[in-house]
């Protein structure tokens, strides 16, 4: 790891101190994944056999998802319609741990984008949305909510997707609200005229947006700098951070400094949402008191992570630290994941055509019986995820004195095994919620269970997966081993 990247590592933990308000156009992103094996007899179009579906916050909602993933405290002011999409947005905002409810405008249609993906190819996108400006009553409610929320935040992010929430008068009022509250304004812009963003501290256009807004070429480093300097002078911006895909990022400030950051991505699957990650990382870092150059460097690393994932993905703080360390995904530390991280990792694996297996247990005092189970499980799939009962869960299931080893120790041992690709600790007594979230292709359990007793078997079989009952190695039991150790202690004391 270079000295410059080593300097960034401790800054990641500082992001937990950040409090950021996001205002903008929320969307609901639906993804339908499947395979195409034939052409429809009704028309010359492919027939997509849908195998799995996901729904997540997009647009400004993806900025919020990235803020939460990085550890920042997020507030969110947005507008939805009085429809199923709006209600789903509200639920997903709550699921992110954000205390705000979206403003509802009657008659408005919540922006929803539905993507149909066959293997690695997107074959269709269907949009449902209203893009007209908000009515006056909704504008007033939005500005009042923003004034209230910004009091406890250090940075205001304005995420403009041109869907009507951020009309010019609303943008001017929001920037004025932030100015009066002495808060930093970071804007992800839209369109060709950036005059509506006048006075922003940081603006984050991509190369195409920069070229259009400045009416200048942006093919080289020097051209990007000149175009950014023009916008800074024209509209009073404090800085421009231009994202340039494979060419990295360029940071230009009103003070005359310019820094170019090479792209960090090692493998690109999907660029969807990378701009949201950049604005979130920059805002969180600035809110945490980190200088703009370092904030941009962290954002550059985070963007490199999300383009290696699928869909509107996010970069977690642990992902960023791992990337700064050039951590291999096969290392034990990188295998320890949260449920959300595991879902992202599984999406990448599936995009590569990998079959996902899942097994679970307490794995207290790992023995040859455990190793045999894990070996059989890995033989049935390409990537094996192990659900591990937390300490509290083990204590409820096994009683006093258990577990013998802490969840951290048990997870570290499992993650060190070549047969295991990911370890996720769960708090419940059963892994049902985790199985529902991860949707493995193969669910593996020991043959001492009947199929009807296997938790999650009906779920996995319901979407076309299979359940494997692994052969047991006789004579091995953690409980029996502990009992024998207890007996030996009594003999020694006698």
**Active-site residues: which are they?**
276
Spatial distance between the Cα atoms of 232 and 203, rounded to a whole number of angstroms: 9
Cα separation of 239 and 184, whole Å? 12
Closest CA to 443 of 485, 372, 384, 483: 384
**Which tokens hold the place of 417?**
């095994």
Q: What's the rounded Cα separation, in Å, for the pair 282 and 305?
A: 15
Phi, psi of 360 (to 5 degrees): -150, 165
**Among residues 385, 430, 429, which one has the least CA distance to residue 411?**
385
Cβ neighbours, 10 Å, residue 253: 19
Tell me the backbone φ, ψ of residue 124, rounded to 5 degrees. Answer: -165, 145
Among 303, 272, 397, 350, which Cα is nearest to 33's?
Answer: 350
**CB < 8 Å & 24+ apart, contacts of 477-482:** 477/367, 477/369, 478/362, 478/364, 478/365, 478/367, 478/404, 479/398, 481/365, 481/367, 482/365, 482/401, 482/402, 482/404
d(CA 282, CA 292): 8
Closest to 287 measured CA to CA, from 16, 1, 26:
16
C-alpha of 77 from chain center: 20
């Amino acid at each position: 790891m270079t000295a410059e990247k080593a300097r960034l590592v401790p800054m990641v933990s500082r992001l937990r101190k950040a409090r950021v308000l996001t205002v903008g156009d929320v969307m609901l992103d639906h993804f339908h994944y499947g395979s195409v094996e034939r052409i429809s007899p009704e028309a010359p179009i492919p027939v997509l056999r849908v195998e799995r579906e996901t729904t997540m916050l997009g647009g400004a909602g993806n900025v919020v998802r990235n803020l939460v993933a990085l550890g920042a405290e997020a507030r969110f002011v947005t507008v939805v319609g009085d429809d199923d999409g709006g209600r789903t947005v509200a639920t997903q905002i709550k699921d992110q741990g954000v205390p705000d409810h979206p403003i509802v405008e009657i008659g408005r249609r919540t922006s929803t984008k539905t993507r149909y993906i066959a293997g690695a190819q997107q074959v269709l996108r269907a949009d449902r949305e209203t893009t007209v400006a908000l009515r006056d009553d909704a504008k007033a409610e939005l500005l009042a909510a923003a004034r209230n929320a910004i009091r406890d935040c250090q940075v205001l992010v304005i995420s403009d997707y041109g869907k009507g929430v951020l009309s010019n008068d609303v943008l001017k009022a929001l920037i004025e609200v932030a100015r009066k509250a002495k808060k930093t304004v970071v804007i992800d812009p839209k369109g060709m005229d950036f005059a509506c963003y006048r006075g922003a501290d940081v603006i984050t256009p991509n190369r195409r947006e920069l070229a259009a807004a400045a009416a200048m070429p942006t093919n080289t480093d020097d051209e990007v700098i000149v175009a950014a300097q023009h916008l800074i002078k024209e509209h009073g911006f404090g800085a421009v951070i231009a994202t340039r895909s494979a060419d990295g990022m360029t940071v230009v400030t009103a003070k005359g400094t310019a820094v170019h950051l090479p792209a960090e991505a090692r493998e690109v699957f999907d660029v969807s949402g990378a701009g949201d990650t950049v604005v979130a990382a920059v805002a969180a870092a600035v809110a945490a008191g980190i200088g703009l150059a370092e904030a941009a460097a962290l954002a550059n690393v985070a963007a490199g992570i999300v383009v290696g994932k699928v869909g509107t993905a996010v970069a977690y703080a642990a992902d960023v630290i791992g990337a700064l360390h050039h951590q291999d995904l096969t290392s034990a530390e990188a295998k320890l994941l949260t449920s959300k991280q595991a879902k992202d990792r599984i999406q990448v694996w599936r995009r590569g055509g990998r079959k996902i297996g899942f097994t679970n247990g307490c794995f207290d005092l790992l023995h040859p019986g455990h190793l045999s189970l894990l070996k059989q499980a890995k033989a049935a799939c390409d990537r094996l995820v192990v659900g591990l009962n937390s300490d509290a869960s083990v204590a409820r299931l096994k009683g006093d004195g258990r577990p013998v080893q802490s969840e951290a120790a048990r997870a570290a041992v499992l993650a060190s095994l070549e047969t295991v690709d990911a370890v996720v600790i769960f708090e419940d007594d059963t892994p049902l919620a985790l199985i529902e979230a991860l949707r493995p292709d193969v669910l593996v359990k020991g043959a001492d269970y009947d199929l009807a007793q296997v938790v999650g078997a009906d779920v996995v079989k319901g979407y076309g997966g299979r359940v494997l009952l692994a052969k047991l190695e006789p004579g091995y039991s953690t409980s029996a081993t502990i009992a024998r150790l207890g007996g030996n202690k009594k003999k020694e004391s006698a």
